[in-house]
Amino acid sequence: MGPTLEEVARLAGVSRSTVSRVINNRPNVRPETREKVWHSIRESGYQPHAVARSLVTNRTRVITVIIPEAVNTLFSDPFFPLLLRGATDACNARQYHLMLSLFTASAERHEMYGRVLYSGLVDGVIVASSPLDDPLIPDLQEDQIPFVSIGRYPDEGVHYVDVDNVAGARMATEHLIRLGHRRIAAITGPLGTVAGQDRLRGYRQALEGRRIPVQDELIVEGDFTEGSGCAAAQQLLSVSPSAIFAASDMMAIGALRAVRDAGLHVPQDIALVGFDDVPTASVIEPALTTVRQPIERLGSMGVEILLDLLDNEQDAASPTQRIVLPTELVVRASCGATW
């Protein structure tokens, strides 16, 4: 490691405190002194020792992203990398550092609690896509650890950022209705997740808004994966929908496969709409009509809210932040209408 405060101080002929004041841009240093100290800092290549600093300030300027379940879909989707991209950007902008805490086994989980959460290593936490029944968020609340949830969390006092899943699903379904469809099926996401629930809610809202009865036989639960989409579509084909809204693109792609295997065509026989706008969506035949969400901003806003929280921790409790970012319908070929 490089030189310490002490050495810089000696070099500049001042005391440690003065160098500390200078490096932290604090007032009460004569301009000439300040200049002299800066000179010694540059000359010596001094770099503050983050760990020593943290020990006294009790802040590490490190936050961590925790993903409770290493959901499979997370590692094939572009969701995760884009979220991290947004999060790191926001961290960079404010001189924070981002750690990544993934864990699968629940044994790992408790070991992680100690190592990450209670060891003073991180100042705060970003919780990404926590299932409703996961104990992580309750645990964080109880331990008073500052955190922001990526994804709506139905509990007062939890700060979150989410995309408007309800509106997105509603737009997608309304689009199908406008195209004349009345028997519109839904392949939902896992109903143990808020995203799964919200996208189903949007579908319902669209139907109800147009006085179209919601039929249980037209709704099948999937788990966001291609395989589950295929299976769900096979089941749905027996009740002959004229259109399918899938709550994820991967499920839509699975549904497409099922429809084809049944000798039918998209969009001629069945119209299809997905959700997410993964890169694959624009590349398959027919290109998939879908709902696009600002994933990168989800990550950056989540981090910004968390850092605001951390920077005002001494103040009175800040109001709960609940941010919902807009989604956007991307019309392509799979719904049978491009305009």
Partner DNA sequence: TTGTAAGCGTTATCAT
Partner DNA sequence: ATGATAACGCTTACAA
Residues in contact with a second copy by CB under 8 A are: 1-2, 45, 47-52, 54-55, 58, 60, 62, 70, 74-76, 78, 80-82, 84-85, 88-89, 92, 95, 97-103, 108, 111-112, 114-116, 118-121, 226, 250, 253, 257, 279-280, 283-285
43 binds, options a second copy, DNA, none, Cβ within 5 to 8 A by partner type: none
Residue with Cβ nearer DNA (5 or 206): 5
30 binds, options DNA, a second copy, none, Cβ within 5 to 8 A by partner type: DNA
- Strands 147-150 and 184-188, bridge-based pairing: unpaired
Residue with Cβ nearer a second copy (117 or 329): 117
88 binds, options a second copy, DNA, none, Cβ within 5 to 8 A by partner type: a second copy
HSE, CB side, 13 Å, CA atoms: give it for residue 34. Answer: 11
5 binds, options a second copy, DNA, none, Cβ within 5 to 8 A by partner type: DNA
Residues whose CB falls within 8 Å of the CB of residue 218, separated by 6 or more in sequence, listed in order: 183, 184, 185, 186, 236, 239, 241
CA 2 to chain centre: 38
What Rg do the C-alpha atoms of the chain give, in angstroms?
Answer: 26
Backbone angles phi, psi at 328, to 5 degrees: -145, 135
Least Å distance, CB 170 to a second copy, is: 27
> CA–CA separation, 270 vs 252, rounded Å?
12
> CA–CA separation, 122 vs 309, rounded Å?
14
314 binds, options a second copy, DNA, none, Cβ within 5 to 8 A by partner type: none
> CA–CA separation, 64 vs 52, rounded Å?
20
Least Å distance, CB 334 to a second copy, is: 13
Residue with Cβ nearer a second copy (207 or 301): 301
Residues whose CB falls within 8 Å of the CB of residue 329, separated by 6 or more in sequence, listed in order: 168, 171, 172, 175, 289, 290, 291, 292
Least Å distance, CB 36 to DNA, is: 8
For 272-298, letters b (16+ CB in 10 Å) and e give bbbbbbbebbeebebbbbbbbbbbbbb
In order of 300, 302, 306, the CA distances from 89 in angstroms are 7, 11, 14
18 binds, options a second copy, DNA, none, Cβ within 5 to 8 A by partner type: DNA
Least Å distance, CB 126 to a second copy, is: 12
Least Å distance, CB 3 to DNA, is: 7
**Residue 260 near residue 325 (C-beta atoms within 8 A):** no
Furthest-apart CA pair in the chain: how many Å? 86
Backbone angles phi, psi at 203, to 5 degrees: -60, -50
33 binds, options DNA, a second copy, none, Cβ within 5 to 8 A by partner type: DNA
Residues found near DNA in the complex (CB under 7 A): 1, 4-6, 13-18, 20-21, 23-24, 27-30, 32-34, 46-49, 52-53, 55-57
Least Å distance, CB 62 to DNA, is: 16
Residue with Cβ nearer DNA (15 or 104): 15
Least Å distance, CB 122 to a second copy, is: 9
Least Å distance, CB 17 to DNA, is: 3
> CA–CA separation, 50 vs 165, rounded Å?
40
Residue with Cβ nearer DNA (47 or 106): 47
